[in-house]
Every structure is written in structure tokens, then in C-alpha cells.
Amino acid sequence: MDLLSIVVPCYNEEESVKLFLNEIQSILSDYNFEVIFVNDGSSDNTLNVIKNLADSNSNVKYISFSRNFGKESAIYAGLSNANGDLVCLIDADLQHPPSLIPEMIESIRSGEADVVAARRTSRKGESRVKSIFSHMFYKVFNRVSQITLVEGATDFRVMKRIVVDAVLDLPEYNRFSKGLFQWVGFETKWIPYENIERVAGESAWSFGQLVRYSVEGVVAFTTIPLTIVIFLGTILSVVAFLYMLFIIVKYLIYSDPVQGFATTMSVILLLGGIQLLSIGALGKYLEKTYTETKKRPIYIVRESNIDEEC
């Protein structure tokens, strides 16, 4: 029977992991599966809880990072170490209902899709402001990038080996998994589900982090901000040139004395703002190029019960 690998990024999930494993075990009792917990530098007791679970369950593996590297890194580590013919990526906090997994596997086995992913249809338990901004982000992102992100799409998914390998072939350091999963393509089926609040602990996402995450996504998947800068520059140059002609002609006809302090100030401030913004946009891409060229590892393992052969 095909092996199913279940990859679970964990950051401060001491209360969730055991509940999570119980749930998985009861739902997948008929399947041949391994669970790979990736402890992403938790500051609570998550690692010990996971180790205890691994001691009593031979199909529980773990990888523990040397510090918190972020969920994207945890996902990469988990996928890299998964041996399954099918790989399931799921959160530890039970916000991704494991009860969907058998249905997802079925869709793949029947040849309907290469990837079956879950899509949240409600945003219960999330603030209104967050929802509105999130909605706007999807709208704008899909307009300007080559890939299309599905609104409410989560990382929760079951993938065929071929899809996992394709994702792992993208070795970039700045990982925006939502985009990477779309970028590799393949036949994807979406399963809608209602948002569920986490069983324990708290979400690590602040509003500021969400904004940063959106910027990451834009920079990783489109260079449109640079095009906008060129466009703005062109328009402004043309307008400035016309205005210059206007001033010269006006001077020749009326030979006006110096005037227009307000206009001068507004133009200087406006241009200053646009220039700083443009440099900022450039800088963001430069930053990404800079971090990529350093070729730092995506994660560092402190301990694990997986042999280093893979």
C-alpha cells in the first residue's frame, strides 16, 4: 500500500500535537502513514511532547530546528524528509480538519487531480479588518502576477510525489509557499471547508506580519512594482517637460519675475516622495537578490530521528 507522509510544522504547539496525533490516528487507521513533526524552534515544551510521541509510535518522525525559521522553512524541511508516495501538509492546531484527508486521497487515487487542497469558505474567528485586507491582497496580487492565487487557499493539501519533487526543485531562500504551489502547476482540486478556531495556543500572526507576508508574495512573484516605477517616471518626465515649455513661453511673452513658491514646494515634495518610494521598491528586490545570493540554508536541524540518507 502507498505510503502517506503527513508533514506538520509546529511552533509552540505543546497542547495541540497530542490531540492532533490522536485525531490523525483515528481517521487514518486504515492507511499506511508516517507523521513528520517539524519543530520550528518552539520556546515551549513542544519538542519533548513530540519526542514522547515518537517513542511510543514508530511512524512518528521529527525534525527539530536550531531556532525559529518560520513556517515556510518548516514546510520545506518536512517535504524534503517525506518518503511518501503521497504527502499531506497540514497545521498542528487542528484548524485544518484531518477528516478531509481520506477524501483528498481518494480524489488523487481516482486520477481526478495531482493535488487536492483545502480552501476556507468563511473567515470565522478572524477580525473584519484582516478579512478586508486579505481580500484586497488577493484581488491586487492576481491582477499583477503571472500566477493566480485562489482566495482562502490554505497550505492544507495532499500532493503526489511528482508535485512534491517539483516544489522541492525550487530551492529559493525566500519561500512563499502559497505561490510556489501554484507556480509548479499540476491538476489541482479545491475542497471547501468552514474555518475552525485553533484547539489550543494562539496564532503567531500579527497584522504587521500579514502585511509583510503580502509584500513577500508580491516581490517573489511579480516585478510589476518596478514597471509601475518606470511608468510613473515616464509620465512625470513628460508632464515636467510640457510644464517647462509652458514656463519658457510664459517668460518670453510676459518676462514674469520669480513666483510660485507653493507650486515649487508641492512639486519638490511630490517628486521626493515618489523617488523614495521608487528606491524603496528597487531596494526590496535588491534585498531579495542579496539574501538569495548568500545561499544560506533554509533551515538548520538541531536534532531529528530521521536518518540523514534522504
- Spatial strand order of the sheet with 188-193 comes to 188-193, 115-120, 153-160, 86-89, 3-10, 32-39, 60-65, 301-304
Grid coordinates belonging to 123: 473567515
As measured in angstroms, the least distance from the Cβ of 179 to ligand UDP is: 16
Give the x-and-dash track for 38-77 against Mg ion (CB under 5 A).
Answer: ----------------------------------------
Alpha carbon separation from 300 to 60, 64, 221, 232, 234 (Å, rounded): 20, 8, 26, 43, 46
Q: What angle (nearest 5°) sits at the alpha carbon of residue 284, between those of residues 282 and 285?
A: 70
Tell me the C-alpha distance between 307 and 81, whole Å: 9
C-beta of 90 vs 220, nearer to Mg ion: 90
The nearer residue to Mg ion, 34 or 93, going by C-beta atoms, is 93
List, in sequence order, every residue forming a beta bridge with 298; answer none if it has no partner: none
- Min dist CB 2 to ligand UDP, Å, is 25
Verify binding: residue 34, Mg ion, rule CB under 5 A: no
Contacted entry of ligand UDP, Mg ion, none for residue 10, CB cut-off 5 to 8 Å set by kind:
ligand UDP
The pattern of x and - marking residues 142 through 181 that bind Mg ion according to CB under 5 A reads ----------------------------------------
Enumerate binding residues for ligand UDP (CB under 6 A): 9-11, 13, 40, 68, 70-71, 74, 91-93, 95, 198, 203-205
Q: Least distance in Å: CB of 170 to ligand UDP?
A: 19
Give the torsion through C-alpha atoms of 171, 79, 198, 205, to 10 deg: -10
**Are the CB atoms for 159 and 105 separated by under 8 Å?**
no
Give the binding site for Mg ion (CB under 5 A).
91, 93, 95, 198
